[in-house]
Amino acid sequence: MPPVNLIGLLPSELEALARDLGTPAYRGRQLATWLYRKGVLDREAMTDLPKEFRERLTEVATLALPAVERVIASQDGSRKLILRLHDGGRIHAVLMPDEDRQTLCLSTQVGCGFACAFCHTGTMGLERNLTADEIVAQLLIANAELPEGLRVTHLVFMGMGEPLANYASTVKAIRIFTDTRHGFGYSPRRITVSTVGLVTGIEKLAREDLGVNLAISLHATTDAIRERLMPVNRSWKLEALLAAVRKFPLPTRRRVFFEYVMLDQVNSSLEDAHRLARLLRGVRAKVNLIPFNDWEGSEFRRPPLSTILAFQSVLLNAGITTTVRWSKGEDIGAACGQLSEVAEVRAAAGGSR
């Protein structure tokens, strides 16, 4: 067993660790404050902790972050952080600034096992789950990358991997992010978990009482089309998926997000738009249309702008809030579904910092 990494521990676990080491619990809270509030990882700098406690910590636990292998800046201001894990695995985290927001797109797995036909990450297959500390580390690294005084304001689990297939680590990381006393203190409203639609995972998440936003990667309006695009639809049909979504507890004025990648001649007709409006009847929904981000070897194309706008109009006319999400970081292979090794090589040829 490798020694425990401090940054994957809940503040309550850091308290317990302090007690185990013969120190009062509040020392663990102080430690959590250094790590998660101040982003300080250097034990030497934690001057209010007794030297002896700091030394004991070094003996029993590590405090390691993945290495930042490269940072690739996009013309639109987003930055892709390529991180190398201790075992050589690679993941990406993408920082997307937008007005006064700094959104960080987090990965939860190395690769992904769900093989959605339009997704480049899906071609990699699943290598492994990330541990909670590897998820938390992405935020610490991103914060350190931002200019003085700026912090990540919003977190979206939309990077590599399927968060609900790495359930325990995802939920633990969220608890560290949202712990208001000694964790990062993010409001759960600023956190969004996006899923291919794992119904059991959605049901489980509903019982956690985390209060985070849920995004469903829907992408089709019939089981036949969805099955072709997303093999996961063989396990849970649209009806089962939407039933789970309807039961998901939503705080007042909040909505479930539906991601819908626009693929020319596949799922973007007016008929699809009307069917989508019908499917979402009675669901407090917000739809994000994502024009397909092309990658080499893909069999799909982005529809013409007029098709995308016509699709959006149908939904708007049905009273459904619908935005078109022009992906960030397209030029650096950091856009939705482009997070894979090959995309990275191509992007690297473009420009790095």
Contacting positions for ligand SAH (CB under 6 A):
116, 118-120, 158, 162, 194-196, 217, 259, 261, 290, 292-293, 336-337
Least CB distance to ligand SAH at residue 290 (A)? 4
Residue with Cβ nearer ligand SAH (11 or 122):
122
How far is CA 9 from each of CA 12, 47, 48, rounded to the nearest angstrom?
A: 8, 21, 20
* Amino acid at the residue 207: R
Q: How far is the CB of 132 from ligand SAH (least distance, A)?
A: 17
Report in angstroms how near the CB of residue 23 gets to ligand SAH at its nearest.
40
> What does R_g of the chain's alpha carbons equal in angstroms?
21
- Our CB check for ligand SAH shows the closer of 66 and 329 to be 329
Minimum CB–partner distance for residue 162 and ligand SAH (Å): 4
Give the distance, in angstroms, between the CA of residue 175 and the centroid of all CA atoms in the same chain: 14
Closest to ligand SAH by CB, 119 or 176: 119
Provide the minimum distance between the beta carbon of 163 and ligand SAH in the complex, in angstroms, as a whole number: 6
Nearer to ligand SAH, 66 or 163 (CB): 163
DSSP H or E stretch at residue 12: helix 11-20
| 209 Ramachandran zone, left/alpha/beta (phi>0; psi -120 to 50) | left
Least distance in Å: CB of 24 to ligand SAH?
Answer: 41
Angle formed by the axes of helices 11-20 and 25-32, nearest 10°: 140
Q: Closest CB to ligand SAH among 22 and 125?
A: 125
Name the residue number minimizing CB distance to ligand SAH: 337
Q: Where are the beta strands (DSSP E) in the chain?
A: 4-5, 61-62, 67-73, 79-84, 90-98, 101-105, 109-112, 125-129, 154-157, 191-195, 213-217, 256-262, 285-291, 321-324
Give the span between the Cα atoms of 13 and 36, in whole angstroms. 13
- Our CB check for ligand SAH shows the closer of 119 and 256 to be 119
